Chains A and B, each alone.
Chain A
Amino acid sequence: MSSERRQFKSVKEIPPEDYYTSGRRTCAGCGPALAYRLVLKAAGVNTVVLGPTGCMYVANAHQFLTSPYAVPWFHTQLGGGGAAGAGTAAAFRALMKKGKRRLEDVNVVVFGGDGGFADIGFAGLSMGMSYDYPRLLYVLYDNESYANTGIQASSTTPWGATTTFTPSGKVRRIGNERMKKNVALIMATHPGVRYVATATLWPPLDLMNKVDKALGSGGPSFIHVLVPCPKGWFTPPDLTVELSRLAVETGLWVLWEYENGRFRLTYKPSPRKHVKNYMQLQGRFAHLSASEIDMIEEVTGREWEIWAEMDRTGKLIVPWVPPLKSVEG
């Protein structure tokens, strides 16, 4: 079977076809919805999409019996993303091997939220990444919260964000005091892994080309996509893509790929903007003091030394970051 690569060189090459279309009720400016659209444009028509429970389930293939999906789509349980992908890919392989289905490349793309992939379905995701199913892509669409249940903290919620489970209060002022788990790095440490990357909605070609590479990599792959969520981030809907861009330009969201054992930054912000450019636009960080934001800026700078080192050597390094603390009282 061929693994055709097409790599989009300019926005003009973005296919006009949409496989994530109308008939949905996501919020205006929903980042995950945009990610769905771009990822499916890159994956193309020969794709099965699976979705663990979350906003992208409840707000899409939703209760008024409409569906925005122009490719096969099936729900899986919140913790079932990894297994669903592996099971579907296993079915295709078995049926093709046994001559029960015609031989061709079929993409299996699982879209899991951060709740679904960083928390409850973490073990299953790891299992899926340990097999050798080609054209199996796990996309973690990371809105840094359990958006569907009303914005609770997940293990990828950034330090300091206020959520309904980690509200900024009179005594506990910081909000979420855990630091963001780097799921992509963990996935990259799986033996034999072919392709792992991070992405966001900006630049869109970066995301789409990573999807293309992932699906053509010959093994299971993982892309961690940061997706702003106007409802959970307390941001206006028209800022979604801008926030993606600022996340990258402030260096808070690092764009990289790990392909066949080699690490590479795919975007180097230069000069890197201060993180406040990104954070000050978001209501979820409004309670943080200027010095706390400066502390995040400082830690981000230190981490960037490690990212740069990884880029130079092509090797994975697991950055150690000191635990963040509230600066005042």
Chain B
Amino acid sequence: MKALTRTDLEAVQIPRRRPITGARAIAEAVKIADVDVIAAYPIRPYTGVMNALAEMIANGEFTAEIIVADSEHSQFEIVKHASAAGARTFVGSSGVGLIYAAEAIVVTAMDQLPVVAIAGCRALDDPGNFGMEWNDTLFFRDSGWLISWAKDPQEALDMTLVAYRVAEDRRVMLPHFIAVDGATITHIAAPVDTPSKKDVAEFLPPYRPHYTLDPAQGPVTKAQHIAPSLIGPEQRKHVDVAMKRSREVIAEAWRDYANYVGRTYDPFIETFRMDDAEIALVTMGAYTINALHAVNEVRRDGIKAGVVRLRYFRPLPAWDLKKVLSGVEGIGVLDFSYSFGSPDSAGVLFNEVRAATYDDPKPALDFLFLGGREPKPADFVKALKILHDYVRTGDTPGGKRVFWLTLRGEDI
């Protein structure tokens, strides 16, 4: 046999990064996490995650109960109860599917059950729309779920593993959405490094809840009807405290994850060319990549722009956001969400960013990508230019503060 040369050895050491879709990458994470109960119901674009898991289970790659549910409402109830009985669980949906499950989603947080779910962001009906929008996931803004937003398949995999660790931490015990911009992540293949179960075994020990709905634990009455006069607000406060505590747990978990897996992330906020930036685009999710390219492009024209990406929407890292934006003269929000009739008639993310920077307000514009229409690189460049002019002249085309960027007709 031919002896291995030095170059051969190096080749062997290069981590194996297979090109897989985001859907597949998430499924890999669920397998590595050794999830016990999965509940599936189809709706694109998230469906591929369940397809991949079903295939893995069918081929004996790992053992889990996979229930093909009759609806999203059942789907989320199934995992809520499986979680209460001591199982590690996985579920997900998109668009109207998520909304159909709203009741179960809300109570899962109030019961403090660490269910992990994928939100494969998709526009809401009517009319039926397969495009990407954030309003389905942001519907659960106020529900007590942790919500993180992945940028690419690799991060979606990493976020899924970290989500279990954070959700199941005794200081937290909250359910966790990993939002993935539909199709852009679920359906697009990228090179992904898949850690082994061994790599993450210590990082992610098996789920060991305090009290389970199991006769072996004795009688536990859970989620009993409550008297507002006795524990109404106290119960809410519990969830609030858990959400607040999640900040330190999230930071700790990502630090630990880097130690075990070797991939380092800033836990809450990712910045790009922000050191000397005068204007910043704030966004989440997959289109961050396009924003980075746009920044590189306008920087060639001398516009000092940067990008700030939120990795978590709940808890919203307001403290970090304020810090990274403290030096800029203008903020542009790249927003795939909208709140009809809201202040400024703007997006949900915009309103959140404005609220987070309330003490140190900055001139801000909202750039909307709505109705699922695919934005082009030029749209991001356009946003930067409008923002740049606004900071320089104090004015915008038409004096507007909110721009429907991919709109074809007149913006009335």
Q: Is B179 an interface position by the 8 A CB rule? A: no
Known A-B contacts A77-B77, A88-B81, A88-B85; the reply to A94 vs B225 at CB < 8 A is no
A94 touching B107, Cβ below 8 Å = no
Binds A, one of B67-75, B133-141, B160-168, B244-252: B67-75
Cβ–Cβ < 8 Å partners of A57 in chain B: 225
Cβ–Cβ < 8 Å partners of A93 in chain B: 65
Cβ–Cβ < 8 Å partners of A101 in chain B: 86, 214, 216
Contact with B along A36-47 (1 / 0, CB 8 A): 000000000111
Query: Chain B interface mostly helix, strand, loop or mixed?
Result: mixed
Taking the nearest CB of chain B, how far is it from the CB of A56, in angstroms? 11
A65 touching B222, Cβ below 8 Å = no
Compute how far the CA of A274 lies from the CA of B361 in the bound complex, rounded to whole angstroms.
Answer: 80
Cβ–Cβ < 8 Å partners of B36 in chain A: 91, 94-95, 98, 100
Taking the nearest CB of chain A, how far is it from the CB of B225, in angstroms? 5
Compute how far the CA of A91 lies from the CA of B219 in the bound complex, rounded to whole angstroms.
Answer: 18
Q: Is A201 an interface position by the 8 A CB rule? A: no
Q: For window 76-120 of chain B, which residues contact chain A by CB distance below 8 Å?
A: 77-87, 89, 103-104, 107
**CB < 8 Å neighbour of B225 from A47, A50, A62, A80:** A62
Q: Is A74 an interface position by the 8 A CB rule? A: yes
Q: For window 56-91 of chain A, which residues contact chain B by CB distance below 8 Å?
A: 57-58, 61-65, 67, 69-77, 79-80, 82-88, 90-91
B87 touching A58, Cβ below 8 Å = no
Count the A-B residue pairs with Cβ separation under 8 angstroms: how many? 166
B215 touching A72, Cβ below 8 Å = yes
B87 touching A90, Cβ below 8 Å = yes
Tally chain A residues at the interface, Cβ within 8 Å.
Answer: 48
Known A-B contacts A83-B69, A101-B86; the reply to A72 vs B213 at CB < 8 A is yes
B224 touching A62, Cβ below 8 Å = yes
Cβ–Cβ < 8 Å partners of A58 in chain B: 225
Compute how far the CA of A92 lies from the CA of B212 in the bound complex, rounded to whole angstroms.
Answer: 11
Q: Is B191 an interface position by the 8 A CB rule? A: no
Compute how far the CA of A131 lies from the CA of B104 in the bound complex, rounded to whole angstroms.
Answer: 21
Question: What range describes how many residues of B lie at the interface?
Answer: 35 or more
A87 touching B215, Cβ below 8 Å = no
A90 touching B37, Cβ below 8 Å = yes
Taking the nearest CB of chain A, how far is it from the CB of B231, in angstroms? 7
**Closest residue to A67 on the B side, CB-wise?**
B221
Compute how far the CA of A97 lies from the CA of B87 in the bound complex, rounded to whole angstroms.
Answer: 12
B74 touching A64, Cβ below 8 Å = no
**CB < 8 Å neighbour of A92 from B69, B85, B227:** B85
Compute how far the CA of A102 lies from the CA of B223 in the bound complex, rounded to whole angstroms.
Answer: 26
Q: Is B63 an interface position by the 8 A CB rule? A: yes
Give me the interface of A with B, judged by CB distance under 8 Å: 45-48, 50, 57-58, 61-65, 67, 69-77, 79-80, 82-88, 90-95, 97-98, 100-102, 106, 123-124, 126-127, 131
Between-chain CB contacts (< 8 Å), 23 pairs: A58-B225, A65-B227, A65-B230, A67-B219, A69-B219, A72-B215, A74-B213, A83-B69, A87-B77, A87-B78, A87-B79, A90-B65, A91-B81, A94-B37, A94-B64, A95-B36, A97-B63, A100-B36, A101-B86, A101-B214, A106-B214, A123-B74, A124-B71
- Please list the 6 inter-chain residue pairs (A to B) with the smallest Cβ-Cβ separation, ordered nearest first: A61-B224, A63-B227, A87-B78, A87-B81, A83-B77, A91-B85
List 18 additional A-B contacts (Cβ < 8 Å) besides A88-B82, A94-B65: A62-B225, A69-B221, A72-B222, A75-B225, A76-B81, A77-B107, A82-B70, A83-B39, A83-B73, A84-B81, A87-B85, A90-B37, A90-B82, A95-B36, A95-B87, A100-B36, A124-B70, A127-B70
